[in-house]
A = this chain, B = another copy of it.
Amino acid sequence: QIIEAIESAFGDGPLSGRHVIVTSGPTHEPIDPVRYIANRSSGRQGAEIARALRDLGARVTFVTGPSTTPPPAGVEVVAVETALQMLGAVQGALPADAVICAAAVADWRVANAHADKLKKDPSGRIPTLEFVENPDILATISQMQEDRPRLVVGFAAETSDVLAHARAKRARKGCDWIVANDVSPETGIMGGNENAVLLITADGVEQWPRMEKSEVARRLARRIAEALAE
């Protein structure tokens, strides 16, 4: 096997000598000093991927938003809060052989974030939040003109038409792979221990059976090792 050959050549696992950046967790986008917009990402899948890559010998930079899931040992943790900070952290950690964008990055941030806490207006007027689109980390890395990582993997958390949305996302972003899943509340995947994913590559679509997030991570890490070995 290719993997075993490399493992024996480098001594430390098939990803020894490789640098992989993994983004994980939610981002928090401030509304005012006490309020923010968040998302339900637990950061479990991202943490498991970082762990699995580390276990195959990679040097892992783990760029994580605010998450209750502890990061694995033996990876370099860069803690961020907002999407802008996450992009900066990823760019600061380059160059890398692969970037795995598992974070649930906020698509928008609040344009008119307030320095003071928003107050209820006695007149009953409701505040209006204006949004501005966040930079797209996956697209930015995928479309780098120089020193692009050889493998850029995005995630697509969908609640309907998973495959169609994921295929469109892969084409639109210019990434190599998309790991797609259905995060509708009834699946129990968001915040849960299991995941059921589709892997979309240039070669087509694979449907993986529902399994522990740690096992999804190990399978994905092995596939990453194979891809980087080609």
The reply to whether B36 and A39 contact each other, CB–CB distance below 8 Å, is yes
The reply to whether A107 and B120 contact each other, CB–CB distance below 8 Å, is yes
A185 and B114 alpha carbons, distance in the complex (Å): 13
Q: Which of A157-207 contact B (CB under 8 A)?
A: 157-160, 165, 172, 183-185, 190
Q: Which of B28, B107, B117, B133 contacts A157 (CB 8 A)?
A: B117
In the assembled complex, the CB of A171 is this many whole angstroms from the nearest CB of chain B, namely 12
The reply to whether A159 and B34 contact each other, CB–CB distance below 8 Å, is yes
Report which residue of A41, A126, A160, A185 has the largest number of chain B beta carbons within 10 angstroms of its beta carbon.
A126
Across-interface contacts of A6 in B (CB, < 8 A): none
A133 and B123 alpha carbons, distance in the complex (Å): 12
A117 and B155 alpha carbons, distance in the complex (Å): 14
Q: Which of A127-166 contact B (CB under 8 A)?
A: 127-133, 157-160, 165
Across-interface contacts of A122 in B (CB, < 8 A): 172
Across-interface contacts of A126 in B (CB, < 8 A): 108, 130-133
Across-interface contacts of A104 in B (CB, < 8 A): 34
Across-interface contacts of A35 in B (CB, < 8 A): 37-40, 106
Q: A108-B127, A159-B116 are in contact. Are A184 and B37 (CB under 8 A)?
A: no
In the assembled complex, the CB of A105 is this many whole angstroms from the nearest CB of chain B, namely 11
Across-interface contacts of A36 in B (CB, < 8 A): 37-40
In the assembled complex, the CB of A81 is this many whole angstroms from the nearest CB of chain B, namely 11
Chain B residue at smallest Cβ distance from A36: B38
The reply to whether B160 and A116 contact each other, CB–CB distance below 8 Å, is yes
Answer whether residue A209 sits at the interface, using C-beta atoms and an 8 A cutoff: no
New A-B pairs, 11, CB < 8 Å, besides A117-B157, A129-B129: A34-B40, A34-B104, A35-B39, A36-B37, A37-B38, A68-B68, A108-B127, A117-B158, A122-B172, A124-B133, A126-B130
Binding site for B on A (CB under 8 A): 28, 31, 33-41, 68, 104, 106-108, 116-120, 122, 124, 126-133, 157-160, 165, 172, 183-185, 190
